[in-house]
């Protein structure tokens, strides 16, 4: 098997994986849009939430768009290599190039508008705390979602346990916090003394932020890896394009 055949096989395998990933993301996007009990519907119910937060409700459409894009890229790459179609390979190159440019532009925007993102999270935090103090312990949907979130992430409230002060749960449970706010409580409510003694756990937002900060190198590494794969894909597609063209001539 010569270099040309090897490149064709690698192109087929690589884009086959992209095609399957696109199908999976498309499925998740469709599931998000039809799942009425998802966190998206919860975010839409938060009172006093910043207007920018409404864009989060479009994440399902974003996943569907990304899934379809990956399906198209995978299809063009696989068929272009197998059928030795210069047209498909050129379309593949153009689409990947546009995606690469968009990713670079997105990275620049994130760096430039980082302060704006911090301000948005601050507004969301204020709205989330108001939502807890108004509905937690009274609204079963809000209560259940927060309980699931806190149990899964092993966190308490948005910022910390004090977010629950004044909530219906806090008032009706003798000024106690949800059991998720204290470690090793076996589903029994905890109080301020237990939290002050070191049994309290951190808030969900600080925990997520710390998780992202701790894995920043991994995230950057993955992003650079994806960029490198895109560059390699463009190089291979153009190499095949040129070889097919020279053979045709």
Burial of residue 193 (CB within 10 Å: 0-12, 13-18, 19+) is exposed
Would you call 237 exposed, middle or buried from its count of C-beta atoms within 10 A (0-12, 13-18, 19+)? buried
The pLDDT assigned to 184 comes to 64
Distance CA 245, CA 93 (A): 15
The residue with tokens 């001539």 is 249
Per the CB < 8 A criterion, the answer to whether 201 and 156 are in contact is yes
Helices then strands, counting H and E runs in the chain, come out as: 10, 0
Min mean pLDDT across 37-51, 84-98, 175-189 is at 37-51
Q: Is the pLDDT of residue 57 over 70?
A: no
pLDDT band with cut points at 50, 70 and 90 for residue 48:
low
Whether 71 and 140 map to the same domain: the answer is: no
Q: How far apart are the first and last CA of the chain?
A: 22
pLDDT at residue 193 in the model? 81
Q: Does residue 79 form part of some domain?
A: yes
Clarify whether residues 96 and 168 are in a common domain. no
> Are 100 and 150 members of one domain?
no
166: in domain: yes
Give residue 46's pLDDT.
Answer: 56
- Asked if the model's pLDDT at residue 169 lies above 60, the reply is yes
Residues 6+ apart with CB under 8 A from 72: 22, 95
Do both 67 and 102 map to the same domain? yes
pLDDT at residue 54 greater than cutoff 60: no
Question: For residue 247, what are its two tokens?
Answer: 């053979």
pLDDT band at 249 (very low <50, low <70, confident <90, very high): low
Is 226's pLDDT higher than 90? no
39 within domain boundaries: yes
Residue-wise pLDDT tens digits, 81-116: 888 888 888 999 999 899 888 888 877 777 777 677
pLDDT value at 247 more than 80: no
- The overall average pLDDT reported for the chain is 80
**Residues 202, 163 contacting (CB under 8 angstroms):** no
Claim to verify: residue 13 and residue 99 sit in the same structural domain: yes
Domain containing 88: what range?
3-112
Residue 189 pLDDT > 70, yes or no?
no
Mean pLDDT within 110-132:
79
d(C-alpha 87, C-alpha 79), whole Å: 10
Tokens 């207007």 -> residue: 51
Residue 51: pLDDT band (50, 70, 90) is very low
Are 79 and 25 contained in the same domain? Answer: yes
Query: Which pTM value belongs to this model?
Result: 0.59
């Amino acid at each position: 098997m010569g270099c040309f055949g090897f490149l064709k096989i690698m192109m087929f395998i690589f884009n086959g994986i992209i095609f399957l990933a696109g199908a999976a993301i498309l499925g998740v996007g469709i599931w998000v849009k039809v799942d009425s009990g998802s966190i998206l519907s919860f975010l839409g119910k938060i009172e006093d939430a910043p207007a920018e937060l409404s864009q989060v409700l479009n994440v399902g459409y974003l996943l569907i768009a990304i899934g379809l894009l990956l399906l198209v890229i995978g299809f063009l790459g696989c068929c272009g290599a197998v059928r030795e179609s210069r047209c498909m390979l050129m379309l593949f190159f153009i689409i990947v190039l546009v995606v690469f440019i968009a990713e670079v532009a997105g990275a620049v925007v994130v760096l430039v508008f980082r302060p704006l993102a911090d301000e948005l999270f601050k507004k969301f935090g204020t709205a989330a705390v108001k939502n807890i103090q108004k509905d937690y312990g009274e609204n079963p949907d809000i209560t259940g979602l927060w309980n699931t979130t806190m149990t899964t992430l092993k966190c308490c409230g948005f910022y910390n346990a004090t977010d629950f002060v004044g909530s219906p749960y806090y008032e009706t449970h003798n000024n106690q916090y949800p059991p998720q706010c204290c470690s090793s409580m076996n589903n029994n409510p905890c109080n301020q003394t237990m939290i002050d003694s070191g049994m309290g756990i951190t808030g969900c937002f600080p925990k997520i932020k710390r998780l992202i900060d701790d894995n920043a190198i991994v995230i950057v590494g993955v992003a650079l890896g994806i960029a490198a794969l895109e560059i390699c894909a463009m190089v291979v597609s153009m190499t095949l394009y040129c070889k097919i063209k020279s053979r045709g001539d």
